[in-house]
């Protein structure tokens, strides 16, 4: 019984991790939203400050901010009358972790290919030497 | 004239880089597509091999593969009758570079915050000492 409950819990966690990755990648798939993240990566800021550099309505920027909040990348807290936005770095760590894992896989493959290439080159050089010395 | 042409070229490159980032992030925002990338990160494979573990039609998997190809993350070449899929690691490098840049920003901020905290703690300890010695 306990084992089943632990398994259910692990599956739920994996499912919510998957949903979080979906949401963060979808949030990053837009240049305005990436620009907002760049802005907030430098310092937290009010909604109006974040919206200012964009050639679009405050309403349009607010929609992008809501997508970022839903994905967990951006957080909002109130300071008196102001809504302050900031980055939740942990949400991007998860994405970074996924890409890092992929990189590990393919770097292993690239290393293996490099070793193979070196071996082939060595064989090729030895082959040439053999030919030069007339041992073939 | 030359300066304008260089500027136009730079803008075009920035625009296509932005479009590539959009496409790659959108491609990664789906669990099936991420699983395909994980599979291909281990070794290149035929379309049918890639499709096998998924509980969906070959047609459905093919659609996901086409999205990955359009984003530049996955490449296809023919070997006789077979279509072989492989990862284009450069496309993920670009995404990784973007996240890395964000990380630099916020790590600087975290470092600054840490320094501030240390200063505050030191002041606090000094303050207590002062009080203990009755110097206030």
Name every chain A residue with its beta carbon within 8 A of the beta carbon of B105: 38, 41-42
Cβ–Cβ gap B26/A25 under 8 Å: yes
CB contacts of B103 in chain A (<8 Å) are: 89, 92, 96
A2-28 vs B2-28: helix crossing angle, rounded to 10? 160
Question: Based on the number of CB atoms within 10 Å of its own CB, is B38 exposed (0-12), middle (13-18) or buried (19 or more)?
Answer: middle
> Do residue A25 and residue B21 have CB atoms under 8 angstroms apart?
no
Largest pairwise CA distance in chain A:
89
Higher pLDDT, A47 or A119: A47
Question: Which of A28, A42, A99 is opposite residue B92, by nearest beta carbon?
Answer: A99
Q: What is the percent of chain A where pLDDT is above 70? A: 92
Give chain A positions within 8 Å (CB) of B30.
22
A77 within 8 A of A84, measured Cβ to Cβ = yes
Closest residue in A to B14 (Cα) is A31
> How far, in Å, CA of B34 to CA of A76, rounded?
29
Distances (CA, A) of B57 to B38, B50, B52, B130, B135: 19, 12, 9, 75, 80
Q: Does A29 touch chain B (CB under 8 A)?
A: yes
pLDDT on residue B130: 65
Asked if residues A37 and A69 have their Cβ atoms less than 8 Å apart, the reply is no
In the prediction, which pLDDT does A26 show?
95
Closest CA to A103 of B104, B27, B90: B90
User: Is the Cβ pair A96, B98 closer than 8 Å?
Assistant: no
Contacts of A31 in chain B (CB under 8 A): 18, 21-22
What is this structure's pTM?
Answer: 0.78
CB A110 within 8 A of CB A97: no
pLDDT single digits (tens) B28-81: 999 999 999 999 988 999 999 999 999 999 999 999 999 999 999 999 999 999
Q: How far is B39 from chain A (nearest CA, A)?
A: 10
End-to-end Cα distance, chain A: 71
Is the pLDDT assigned to residue A133 strictly greater than 50? yes
C-alpha closest to that of A74 among A21, A33, A14: A33
Buried residues in A34-62 as b, exposed as e (16+ CB within 10 A): bebbebbbeebbebeebbeeeeeeeeebe
Spatial distance between the Cα atoms of A40 and A126, rounded to a whole number of angstroms = 58
A47 pLDDT higher than 70: yes
């Amino acid at each position: 019984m306990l084992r089943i409950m632990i398994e259910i819990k692990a599956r739920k966690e994996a499912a919510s991790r998957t949903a979080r990755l979906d949401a963060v990648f979808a949030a990053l798939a837009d240049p305005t939203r990436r620009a907002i993240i760049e802005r907030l990566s430098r310092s937290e800021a009010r909604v109006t400050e974040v919206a200012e550099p964009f050639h679009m309505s405050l309403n349009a920027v607010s929609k992008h901010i809501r997508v970022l909040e839903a994905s967990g990348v951006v957080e909002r807290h109130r300071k008196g009358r102001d809504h302050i936005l900031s980055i939740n770095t942990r949400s991007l760590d998860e994405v970074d972790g996924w890409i890092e894992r992929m990189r590990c896989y393919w770097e292993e493959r690239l290393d293996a290919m490099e070793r193979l290439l070196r071996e082939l080159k060595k064989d090729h050089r030895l082959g040439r030497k053999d030919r030069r010395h007339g041992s073939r």
